[in-house]
Structure 1
Amino acid sequence: MDEQIRVGITGVGGLGTDLGRGFEHVEGATVAAVADVDAGNRAAAAEALGVPVADRYESHEAMLAGADLDAVVVATPHTLHYEQVVAAMERGLHVLCEKPLCTDVGHARDLVERDDASERVLMVGYQRHLSPVYATARERVEAGDGPNYVTAEVTQDWIEAQRDAWRGDPDRSGGGQLYDTGSHLVDAVLWVTGLTPVAVNARMVFDDDAERVDKQAALNVEFAEGAVASLAVSGDTPRTREHLHVWDDEGAVYVEGEGWSRRELSVLDADGTVTVPGTDDWEWESKPAAFVECIREGREPPATARDALAVTAVTEAAYESARTGDTVDVDSSP
Structure 2
Amino acid sequence: MEKQAHAPTRVGIVGLGYIGTVVGEGFVQHPDGDVVAVCDVDTDRLDTVGDRFSIASTHRYRKYESMLEDAPLDAVLVGTPHTVHYEQVVAAMDRGLAVYCDKPLAVDLEHAKALVARDAHADEPTLMVGYQRHLQAAFRHARARYRDREPTWVAASITQDWVADSAGTWRLEPSLSGGGFLADTGSHVLDGVCWTTGLEPESVRASMDFHDDEQRIDRRAHLDVRFANGATGTFSFLGDAPAVREHIHIWDDEGAVYLEGKEWGSRRMFEIERDSGEHHPYIDPRAEQSRAAAFLETVREGTEPPATARDALTVTALTQAAYESARAGERIDVDLEV
Q: TM-score range by the shorter chain?
A: over 0.9
Equivalent position to 2:144, from 139, 143, 146: 139
Rate the CA distance shift 1:281–1:180 in 2: closer, same or farther, 3 A.
closer
Using structure 2 for the length normalisation, give the TM-score. Answer: 0.96
Equivalent position to 1:204, from 208, 214, 219: 208
1:141-193 CA distance string (max 9 Å, x none): 2232x000001100001101213210011100001000110000110111011
| Aligned counterparts of 1:86 and 1:174: Cα–Cα separation in 2 | 18
Using structure 1 for the length normalisation, give the TM-score. Answer: 0.97
Mapping 1:1-334, distance limit 5 Å: 2-117=6-121, 118-144=123-149, 146-334=150-338
| Aligned counterparts of 2:88 and 2:80: Cα–Cα separation in 1 | 9
Kindly provide the amino acid, as one letter, of the partner of residue 103 in structure 1: V
| Aligned counterparts of 2:261 and 2:277: Cα–Cα separation in 1 | 20
State which drifts further: 272-281 or 296-305. 272-281
- Secondary structure of the 2:29 match is coil
- Secondary structure of the 2:230 match is coil
State which drifts further: 12-21 or 90-99. 12-21
| Deviation of 1:285 (Å) | 1.1
| Deviation of 1:283 (Å) | 3.4
| Deviation of 1:279 (Å) | 2.8
- Are the equivalent residues in 1 in contact too, given 2:118–2:124 (CA < 8 A)? no
| Aligned counterparts of 2:266 and 2:298: Cα–Cα separation in 1 | 25
State which drifts further: 154-163 or 241-250. 154-163
- Are the equivalent residues in 1 in contact too, given 2:204–2:333 (CA < 8 A)? yes
Identity of aligned residues (%): 50
- Are the equivalent residues in 1 in contact too, given 2:14–2:80 (CA < 8 A)? yes
- Are the equivalent residues in 1 in contact too, given 2:14–2:20 (CA < 8 A)? yes
Unmatched tracts of structure 2, length 5 or more:
none
- Are the equivalent residues in 1 in contact too, given 2:254–2:274 (CA < 8 A)? yes
* TM-align CA RMSD: 1.1
| Aligned counterparts of 1:262 and 1:312: Cα–Cα separation in 2 | 24
- Are the equivalent residues in 2 in contact too, given 1:241–1:259 (CA < 8 A)? yes
| Deviation of 1:24 (Å) | 2.5
Unmatched tracts of structure 1, length 5 or more:
none
Kindly provide the amino acid, as one letter, of the partner of residue 296 in structure 1: R
| Aligned counterparts of 1:227 and 1:32: Cα–Cα separation in 2 | 47
- Secondary structure of the 1:230 match is strand
| Aligned counterparts of 1:211 and 1:61: Cα–Cα separation in 2 | 33
- Secondary structure of the 1:222 match is strand
| Aligned counterparts of 2:168 and 2:274: Cα–Cα separation in 1 | 48
| Aligned counterparts of 2:216 and 2:32: Cα–Cα separation in 1 | 43
Kindly provide the amino acid, as one letter, of the partner of residue 112 in structure 1: V
1:283-326 CA distance string (max 9 Å, x none): 32111100000001000000000000010000000000011101
| Deviation of 1:280 (Å) | 4.6
| Aligned counterparts of 1:202 and 1:194: Cα–Cα separation in 2 | 22
- Secondary structure of the 1:179 match is coil
Kindly provide the amino acid, as one letter, of the partner of residue 269 in structure 1: E
| Deviation of 1:277 (Å) | 1.7
- Secondary structure of the 1:267 match is strand
| Aligned counterparts of 2:326 and 2:168: Cα–Cα separation in 1 | 23
1:41-99 CA distance string (max 9 Å, x none): 11111111111101000011110011010000000000000000000000000000000
- Secondary structure of the 1:72 match is strand
Number of residue pairs the alignment of both structures matches: 333
